[in-house]
Amino acid sequence: TTNMSGLLNSSIGRKFAMALSALFLMIFLLQHFAINSLSVFSPSAFNEASHFMGTFWAVQYLLQPVLIFGVIFHFVMGFVLEIQNKKARNVKYASNSNGSNSSWVSRNMIWSGLAILAFMALHFIDFWIPEINIKYVQGDMSGLLDPNVADSGYRYYEELVHKFENPIRVGAYVVAFVFLILHLLHGFDSAFQSVGANNNYTKALKRFSKIYAIGIPLGFVLIALFHHFTGH
């Protein structure tokens, strides 16, 4: 405990912890995208995967709390580091006007982070809170459209398509993932630097980070647009 406290009290330690939480969230984002993409190719497979993730005890009682902690930790640590960075900048450098030493994205990570946080709040309201209500308040763990009809089929795909009918919600979804692209483009690089995986930064690592930072959020956008415009 003392070692952990000492780690988080140092600037390097906080950056390292921030990077580890970011990498953890990136892995979750990839898994989330993999399941969501099933909704485009196979509604039944999406329903099966969603039901498994929503009812398997290890996911619900172990991974879900860890994920929530990881999200909170990452954003709190981000705010702490931003405050530290502002305190360290007693004067405005000329680079902030010409971007020679830092990019616009790196100087505005806090704003892209806030935009993503706002989207996550909407996402929780849209999906997570209704799920908690159905499963743990109403006590319906069946996942069925009609829990009284055994062959009514799972409800997850129908709920997803319904959410993407609203153009305002889809627009917010698209804007949020554009911010996520910007956030990841800088965040991915910083995460590898902080965990010491950036020695002689390779072309392959750069390529992979850009593919992930642009490809995964863009994939989420395409899924939302697909369901919005096709209605299924």
pLDDT at 43: 96
- The neighbour count for residue 231, using CB atoms within 10 Å, is 8
Decide if pLDDT at 23 tops 70.
yes
Return the DSSP state at 59.
Answer: I
pLDDT at 4: 54
Decide if pLDDT at 149 tops 70.
yes
Top mean pLDDT of 14-28, 90-104, 191-205 is at 14-28
Q: Which tens digit of pLDDT belongs to each residue from 159-183?
A: 999 999 999 999 999 999 999 998 8
Contact 155, 143 (CB under 8 A): yes
Decide if pLDDT at 84 tops 80.
no
Q: Hey, what amino acid is at 164?
A: F
What span, in angstroms and rounded, lies between the C-alpha atoms of 143 and 134?
9
Nearest Cα to 113, choosing from 36, 9, 170, 186? 186
Question: 58-62, 192-196, 203-207 — which is least confidently predicted?
Answer: 192-196
Decide if pLDDT at 96 tops 60.
no
When the pLDDT of each residue in the chain is averaged and rounded to a whole number, the result is 84
